Each structure stands twice: as C-alpha cells, then as structure tokens.
C-alpha cells in the first residue's frame, strides 16, 4: 500500500494470499482438527475413553488427554514419534483418499476394516459378475480373517456383509 499524494488516503497496489494449515505439535501432520481426530478413534477407543477426551474443559486439556491416550499405546516410548498413532492416522488418511465419496472414507465399511487391520494381504475384486452385485473379498492371512464387501447400490458404496462385526471387529 502506498499513500495517495492527492488526498492522503491509501491505495492498494497488490495483494496475495496463501493457504496454510496449522500443525499441532506431537501429532501426525495429517491431523489438523483434534475433534475430528478424536472421532476417528472410534475403531480402537472405548466410548468412555472418547467421552473423557471430549469432556475436557479447554482445547489444551483436550489435546493433553488425546496425547495421553496415545502415549499409553506407544510401542516404543524411547523414540520421539508415536509409531502407532502415526500409522493409525496414516490409515485414516488413506481410507479417506481411496474409499471416500459422498461420505468420508474412514466412515465406510472398507475404511473401518482398513484402519483396523491395515492393507489386506490379498484382494479379490469382482466388479462385473453376471448373477451378483459387484463385490470384493479382502484376506488377512496373519489374522486368519476374511472380509467380504458388496456394492448393493452399484455406486461404489461397498458394505461389509461377512463377517458382520461391530466397530471393534467383534462378530455380531
């Protein structure tokens, strides 16, 4: 900005803007919203643990409780990183990128399984069968688990049909 010599007012000559995100210290780069990050913990945290974190009186207390939750699960406390937290939120980010559509990927059935178990050892894709809806079967050999997803709508909204599980992977 420079002063206009005629009447002493200011004239804007140029402006610029940039998008940036704020990184929370000690938290993976992909986590930019602590409330959303706490919500995304529902596949591994008990409802009482989530209530404890969300019940914090201040944003700082909420962040402290969030970090406390992950500190208890840190596989190697001698390192500055919490490898489990980093891996968990990297899976959330992957699920959002790959499985998301009109709903965030982490909220989908495939997102839930991916976040809980990681990448499958093998995937059978059956997008164009004559007598069935499109479906996928994911295999996790180290866990002796298999998950079958069916796209009932034909729009890529794959739902877990086998086994039927709750959020914590317990068979219903």
Rounded to an integer, the average pLDDT of 149-155 is 91
Distance CA 130, CA 90 (A): 36
Cα–Cα distances in angstroms (integers) from residue 155 to residues 99, 135, 144, in the given order: 12, 12, 30
**What are 57-116's pLDDT values in tens digits?**
999 999 999 999 999 999 999 999 999 999 999 999 999 999 998 899 999 999 999 999
* 82 vs 15: CA distance, rounded Å: 41
Residue 154: pLDDT band by 50, 70, 90 thresholds?
Answer: confident
Quick check: 161 pLDDT over 50?
A: yes
- Note the pTM of the prediction, 2 decimals: 0.79
Express as a percent the part of the chain with pLDDT over 90: 69
Domain ranges of the chain: 17-162
| The pLDDT of residue 32 | 83
Strand 10-11 with 135-140, pairing: unpaired
Beta bridge partners of 136: 125, 149
pLDDT: which is higher, 166 or 1 = 166
Q: Are 37 and 66 in contact (CB under 8 A)?
A: yes
């Amino acid at each position: 900005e420079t002063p206009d010599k005629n009447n002493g007012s200011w004239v804007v000559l140029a402006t610029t803007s940039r998008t940036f995100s704020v990184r929370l210290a000690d938290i993976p780069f992909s986590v930019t919203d602590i409330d959303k990050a706490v919500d995304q913990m529902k596949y591994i945290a008990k409802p009482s643990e989530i209530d404890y974190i969300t019940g914090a009186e201040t944003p700082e207390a909420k962040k402290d409780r969030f970090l406390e939750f992950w500190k208890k699960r840190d596989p190697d406390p001698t390192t500055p990183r919490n490898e489990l937290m980093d891996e968990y939120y990297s899976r959330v980010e992957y699920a959002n990128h790959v499985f998301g559509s009109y709903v965030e990927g982490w909220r989908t059935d495939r997102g839930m399984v991916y976040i809980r178990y990681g990448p499958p050892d093998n995937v059978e894709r059956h997008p164009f069968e004559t007598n069935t809806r499109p479906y996928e079967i994911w295999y996790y050999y180290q866990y002796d688990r298999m998950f079958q997803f069916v796209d009932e709508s034909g729009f890529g909204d794959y739902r877990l049909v086998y086994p039927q599980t709750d959020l914590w992977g317990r068979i219903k």
